[in-house]
Amino acid sequence: MSDRTIKVGVIGTGGMGGRHIHNLTNEVSAAQVVAVVDVDEARQQTVARACGATYAFTDGYELISHPAVEAVLIATPDRFHAQLTQACIAAGKPVFCEKPLATSAAGAYQVVEAEVSGGRRLVQLGFMREYDPAHVKVKRIIDSGALGQAIGFRGVHINPPSSEPHSLEDVITNSVVHDIHSARWMMGDEITKVYASYVPVNPNQPDTARYVLVQLHYRNGSIGQIECNADSGYGYEVDVQMTGETGTVQTNALQSALVSRANARSQWVEEDWLQRFDTAYILEAKAWIGSLQSGTPTGPSAWDGYVAMIIADACVESAQRGQPLTVKIFERPAIYTR
Ligand code: ISE
């Protein structure tokens, strides 16, 4: 394990990119943000000054090929993820890519193909629920066998109030994709069938989604369910529950204190994922930088991103057709050991 500093370039300095830059600069002593990219030049300059980055560009590909950049973090809008990740692989640079890996399974597969043909794992994907202490506790208990064999997964995902209607595709590939990954990771098994249903924002806009429910079937005979509210109107919550043969285990919906006052009980609800998963983002960044120091890849892989997109695509199609769909998962290439 080396303790050398890893010089990171970050593409995208908005909400998520800004948080990653903050964490890499202030929470991960072995990381140094040396370059940033944003099409918004004013923001790019402000962020570069604040984190001490020497280089600032408007073009992600310029950052990827810059010799001062050893590793890349991608936090752009989803539609740019796959191509930028492939450029990092082509340059032989380790890359942390925010989820989703691509906006379709076909796009995600191209990343997997590029990584496999290079013969080594370079990609870590931002399915950060794997670093959330509440999720990790549930996973440990289920994996310990204390509740017997796991037979059920339940994921509840409540998004903050939203002023814009979201498309069905967007809700599934941007939000539900997290729960799809959690469903695979928690159960330690593959999903073989999905049945998705949804309520559009209004009946005249059937390509929008306000609320999505997905039923899952696993290869091992277990079943699962994902509920996603795209516009809660009140705050942000993410929880998982696992059912075992002899008991259940679940994350605690809210971490805040329970206040009783004037004949009422209340609890503060987080505003968004940056608040709810603040610790997870720090632990995720530490794990990524640690893995670059040790040379041992860790965390969710491009394969996980690809499989999640196969299932996400199937959910979109299932919801549109109103029918359950069988999902075919291909053999996992040898470079993806976990
Ligand atoms: C957002 O992009 C995230 O990644 C959050 O973790 C997720 O909960 C939210 O639904 C997404 O829109």
Q: Which atom of ligand 1 is nearest to the CA of 98?
A: 4
Strand-pair partners of 260 = 265
Q: Which atom of ligand 1 is nearest to the CA of 230?
A: 10
Indicate the burial class of 259 (C-beta count within 10 angstroms; 0-12, 13-18, 19 or more). Answer: exposed
Q: Which atom of ligand 1 is nearest to the CA of 129?
A: 6
What is the distance in A from the centroid of ligand 1 to the CA of 158?
A: 10
Whole-prediction pTM value?
Answer: 0.97
Q: How far apart are the C-alpha atoms of 150 and 297, rounded to whole Å?
A: 28
Residue ID of nearest Cα to ligand 1 atom 5? 273
Q: Tell me, what's the pLDDT at 338?
A: 67
Mutate to test the pocket of ligand 1, among 99, 168, 175 (most ligand atoms within 8 A of CB): 175
Q: Tell me, what's the pLDDT at 1?
A: 56
Q: Which atom of ligand 1 is nearest to the CA of 276?
A: 6
**DSSP helix/strand/coil, 265:** strand
Q: Which atom of ligand 1 is nearest to the CA of 126?
A: 4
Q: Tell me, what's the pLDDT at 111?
A: 98
Residue ranges around ligand 1 (CB below 6 Å): 157, 159, 174-175, 178, 238, 273
Annotate 3-19 with b (16+ C-beta within 10 A) or e (fewer): eeebbbbbbbbeebbbb
Mutate to test the pocket of ligand 1, among 132, 159, 228 (most ligand atoms within 8 A of CB): 159
What is the distance in A from the centroid of ligand 1 to the CA of 72?
A: 21
- Name the nearest CA neighbour of 114 among 298, 335, 281: 335
β 325-326/55-57 pair status = unpaired
With beta carbons less than 8 A apart as the criterion, state whether 38 and 31 touch.
no
Residue ID of nearest Cα to ligand 1 atom 10? 175
What is the distance in A from the centroid of ligand 1 to the CA of 103?
A: 14
The CB-based long-range contact list for 196-202 (8 Å cut-off, 24+ gap) reads 196/172, 196/315, 196/316, 196/318, 196/319, 197/319, 197/322, 198/168, 198/171, 198/319, 200/168, 201/165, 201/166, 201/231
Q: Which two three-digit tokens encode residue 147?
A: 């509740």
How many residues appear in the chain? 338
What is the distance in A from the centroid of ligand 1 to the CA of 230?
A: 10
What is the distance in A from the centroid of ligand 1 to the CA of 175?
A: 5
pLDDT by residue, tens only, the chain of 338 residues: 578 999 999 999 999 999 999 999 999 999 999 999 999 999 999 999 999 999 999 999 999 999 999 999 999 999 999 999 999 999 999 999 999 999 999 999 999 999 999 999 999 999 999 999 999 999 999 999 999 999 999 999 999 999 999 999 999 999 999 999 999 999 999 999 999 999 999 999 999 999 999 999 999 999 999 999 999 999 999 999 999 999 999 998 777 899 999 999 999 999 999 999 999 999 999 999 999 999 999 999 999 999 999 999 999 999 999 999 999 978 899 999 86
With beta carbons less than 8 A apart as the criterion, state whether 199 and 210 touch.
yes
Residue ID of nearest Cα to ligand 1 atom 2? 174
Mutate to test the pocket of ligand 1, among 125, 131, 168, 273 (most ligand atoms within 8 A of CB): 273
- Name the nearest CA neighbour of 109 among 298, 309, 299: 309
DSSP labels, 35-73 = EEE-SSHHHHHHHHHHHT-SEEES-HHHHHH-TT--EEE
